[in-house]
Structure 1
Amino acid sequence: MKLKSLGAWLAASVAVPATMASATDLEVTHWWTSGGEAAAVAEFASAFDATGNKWVDGAIAGGGSTARPIMISRITGGDPMGATQFNHGRQAEELVEAGLMRDLTDLAESEGWADAVAAPSLLESCTLDGKIYCVPVNIHSWQWLWLSNKAFEDAGLDVPTTWDEFVAAAPALRDAGKIPLAMGGQAWQRGGAFNVLMTAIGGKELVMKVYDEKDAEVAAGPEIAKVFQAAADAREMSQGSNVQDWNQATNMVIQDEAGGQIMGDWAQGEFQVAGEVAGEDYTCLPGLGVNEIISTDGDAFYFPVMDDEEQSAAQEELASVMFNAGTQVAFNLKKGSLPIRKDVDLNAANDCMKKGLAILDQGNTVTSVNQLVSPDTNTQIEGLMTEFFSDMNMTAEDAQARFADIIANAD
Structure 2
Amino acid sequence: MKATTRLLLTTAILSAGHVQATELEVTHWWTSGGEAAAVAELAKAFNETGNTWVDGAIAGGGSIARPIMISRITGGDPMAATQFNHGRQAEELVEAGLMRDLTDVAEAEGWKEVVHPSSLLDACTVDGRIYCAPINIHSWQWLWLSHKAFKDAGVTVPTNWDEYVAAAPALEAAGKVPLALGQQAWQTSGAFNVLMIAIAGKEIYDKVYADHDAEAAAGADITRVFKAAADARKMSKDSKVQDWNLATNMVITGQAGGQIMGDWAQGEFQVANQVAGEDYSCLPGLGVNEIISTSGDAFYFPVIDDAEQSKAQDVLAATMLKAETQVAFNLKKGSLPIRGDINMDTANDCMRKGLEILAAGNTVRDAAQLISPDTNSQIEDLFSEFFNDYSVTVEEAQASFAGIIADAD
* TM-score normalized by the length of structure 1: 0.96
Hey, what does 2:6 align to over in structure 1?
Answer: none
1:18 paired with 2:18, answer no
Residue 78 of structure 2: aligned partner: 80
The answer for the alignment partner of 2:160 in structure 1 is 162
TM-superposition CA deviations, 1:286-310 (whole Å, max 9, x none): 0000000000000000000011001
Between the two proteins, the alignment pairs up a number of residues equal to: 397
1:22-74 CA deviation, whole Å, 9 max, x = no partner?
21100000000000000000000000001110000000000000000000000
Residue 132 of structure 1 is matched in structure 2 by: 130
Q: Which residue of 125, 138, 141 maps to 2:139?
A: 141
Q: How does 1:46-195 map to 2 (within 5 A)?
A: 46-195=44-193
Q: What corresponds to 1:376 in structure 2?
A: 374
Question: Counterpart amino acid of 2:65?
Answer: A
Query: Match of 1:410, as an amino acid?
Result: A
Instruction: Supply the AA of the counterpart residue of 2:14.
Output: A
Q: 1:246 aligns with which of 244, 267, 271?
A: 244
What corresponds to 1:29 in structure 2?
27
What residue identity is the alignment partner of 2:226? F
TM superposition shift of 1:110: 1.3
> What CA deviation, in whole Å up to 9, does each residue of 1:74-102 have, x standing for no partner?
00000000000000000000000000000
**Residue correspondence of structure 1 range 208-223 to structure 2 within 5 A:** 208-223=206-221
Say which SS state the counterpart of residue 348 (structure 1) adopts: coil
Q: Which residue of 2 aligns with 1:364?
A: 362
1:118 CA drift (Å): 1.4
Residue in 2 aligned with 1:40? 38
1:18, CA displacement in angstroms? 3.3
Instruction: Tell me the SS of whatever aligns to 2:343.
Output: coil
**Residues of 2 paired with 1:115 and 1:243: CA distance?**
43
Cα shift at 1:111: 1.0
State the alpha-carbon separation in 1 of the partners of residues 399 and 20 from structure 2. Answer: 58
Ranges in structure 2 where 5+ consecutive residues have no aligned partner: 1-9
Report the equivalent of 2:226.
228
Measured in 1, the distance between the counterparts of 2:369 and 2:15 equals: 32
DSSP 3-state at the match of 1:18: helix
Alpha-carbon distance in 2 for matches of 1:247, 1:183:
10
- Indicate the residue corresponding to 1:331 in structure 2: 329
Match of 2:198 among 197, 200, 207: 200
Aligned-partner Cα distance in 2 for 1:26–1:110? 22
What is the match of residue 313 of structure 2?
A: 315
Equivalent in the alignment of 1:12: none
| Letter in structure 2 aligned against 1:75 | I
For 1:410 and 1:132, locate their aligned partners in 2 and report how far apart those are by CA, in whole Å.
Answer: 26
User: For each residue in 1:192-218, what CA deviation from the matched residue of structure 2 results, as whole angstroms up to 9, or x when unmatched?
Assistant: 000000010011111110001000011
Aligned to 1:407: 405
Detail structure 1 runs of 4+ shifted over 4 Å in the superposition. none
What code does the residue aligned with 2:134 have?
Answer: P
The residue matched to 2:14 in structure 1 has which SS?
A: coil
Partner of 1:10: none
Identity over aligned residues, as a percent?
73
How far apart, in 2, do the equivalents of 1:378 and 1:128 lie? 21
- What is the root-mean-square deviation of aligned Cα atoms in Å? 0.9
| Amino acid corresponding to residue 254 of structure 1 in structure 2 | I
Residue identity matched to 2:365: T
Structure 1: gaps spanning 5 or more residues: 1-14
